[in-house]
C-alpha cells in the first residue's frame, strides 16, 4: 500500500542536520520493510500556530510503499527524535487524485 508520510522538523536546523534527519527517516522506512517512492522537500514554511514557540517549520513530505501499519512501525520511531515536531501518516487513495469534471 502507498502512504503519505508528512513531517515538520525544527526550522533552525543547518543543511547538514536536515540531511542527517532525512537519512534517518529513509533508514527507518527501509528497516520497517518499506520503500521511499518520492520526497518533496518544501523547506521552511509558516505554521498556522506555534509549535514549541516556533512560528515556522521545515516540511518534508514523503510518499512511501509499505505493507503493514506504518503508524506503528515508522511514526512511533520518528516521534522520538528531538528535531521532529510533527508526524502524520495518511493512506494514499487513488480516488483523491482524480479531478471532477
Predicted local distance difference test score (pLDDT) of residue 100: 61
Class level of CATH domain 2-94: alpha beta
State the pTM of this model: 0.84
pLDDT above 90 for 11: yes
pLDDT above 80 for 101: no
Mean pLDDT of 3-19: 93
Tens digits of residue pLDDT in 25-84: 999 999 989 899 999 999 999 999 998 899 999 999 999 998 888 888 888 899 999 999
Cα–Cα distance between 69 and 78 in angstroms, integer?
A: 14
Contact 35, 65 (CB under 8 A): yes
With b meaning 16 or more CB within 10 Å and e meaning fewer, what string describes 30-57?
A: eebebebeeeeeeeeeebeeeeeeeebb
Q: Which three cell numbers stand for residue 31?
A: 528497516
Amino acid at each position: 500500500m502507498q502512504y503519505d508520510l508528512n513531517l515538520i522538523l525544527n526550522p533552525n536546523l543547518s543543511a547538514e542536520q536536515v540531511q542527517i534527519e532525512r537519512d534517518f527517516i529513509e533508514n527507518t522506512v527501509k528497516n520497517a520493510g518499506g520503500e521511499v517512492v518520492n520526497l518533496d522537500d518544501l523547506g521552511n514554511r509558516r505554521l498556522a500556530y506555534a509549535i514549541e514557540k516556533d512560528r515556522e517549520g521545515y516540511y518534508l513530505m514523503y510518499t512511501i510503499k509499505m505493507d503493514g501499519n506504518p503508524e506503528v512501525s515508522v511514526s512511533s520511531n520518528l516521534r522520538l527524535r528531538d528535531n521532529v515536531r510533527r508526524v502524520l501518516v495518511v493512506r494514499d487513495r487513488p480516488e483523491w487524485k482524480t479531478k471532477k469534471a
